[in-house]
A = this chain, B = another copy of it.
Amino acid sequence: MSQPAAPFRRLAIIGIGLIGSSIARAARQWGQAAEIVCADLSETHRQQAVALGVVDAAFADAAEAVRGADLVILCVPLGAYGAVAQAMAPGLGAGTLVSDVGSSKQSVLRDVAPHLPPGVAFIPGHPVAGTEHSGPAAGFATLFQGRWCILTPPEGSDPAQLERLHGFWSAFGSKVEVMDARHHDLVLAITSHVPHLIAYNIVGTADDLQTVTQSEVIKYSAGGFRDFTRIAASDPTMWRDVFLNNKEAVLDMLQRFTEDLTALQRAIRWDDGETLFKLFSRTRAIRRAIIDAGQETAAPDFGRTGDGKQ
């Protein structure tokens, strides 16, 4: 009995960082592509990816990587999409499915679609998964397991290509949801982008203080601060580009966040304990629901280990 043929002949991953290399590993582990190649501007990343056995070949030129590929996934920072799309276009053959993993989806359509030759299908995607680490060595095959992957097919997309992409992500253990790009950008602004912004912000505020030393911030960080440093340690280029490319939704959500924070500030100033207590009581229920939905661990303190607790 022979192995069932892989759904894709050649998978080309453009950008072999944390997410790109996790896709490559997962595609290998769950037999999704006969050949897996990548393109990356960094020679170190290309060498690492080949040495780790994550890809069969690595190219500096995106057009070479996508030549003969039937699935191409962009895993570069959002600000590089236009240039990358232009660079790879000459290598793209008719029938190729192009997708991506970017955190904003309206900008992706705007930046990539104009460069694609006719006959190439473009269906943007976004696996809602990651860690605070970067680079090809940080990836792992199970990163997407149990996590959601959102696909945002533009109007008139080929249902057969959507089905193939759906199958690709499902094979990694992802749950797949299809939605409109505009709605995606709103949802991610509140579940991911604004949380990252305020985490980066408070770490910056603490770092700038003169009345409290940096060594004190570090020593007493277990009081809550350290939780924020995890996402504030995420890739700076990737996150700069997220904010510049999902500006409208981020500014909208940020406005609401600030309004609400101002109301809490006022409650503190005027000793309005009831307002504080009411908010603090209903937020517990949301964590419970996230745990029940399998999107969070039930262990106290994230099940942290190696920091004193056994």
Contact = CB atoms under 8 A, between A and B. Distances in A.
Contacts of A307: 146, 294-297
A190 B210 CA distance: 12
Contacts of A187: 212, 216-217, 220
Interface stretch (A91-99, A106-114, A274-282): A274-282
A258 interface: yes
Interface string A247-281: 10011011011101110110011010100110111
A293 B147 CA distance: 32
B282 A220 contact: no
Contacts of A143: 309
Interface stretch (A1-9, A56-64, A163-171, A237-245): A237-245
A300 B247 CA distance: 28
A44 interface: no
Interface of A: 79, 103, 128-133, 138, 140, 142-148, 150, 173, 177, 186-188, 190-209, 211-212, 214, 216-234, 236-237, 239-241, 243-244, 247, 250-251, 253-254, 256-258, 260-262, 264-265, 268-269, 271, 273, 276-277, 279-284, 286-290, 293-310
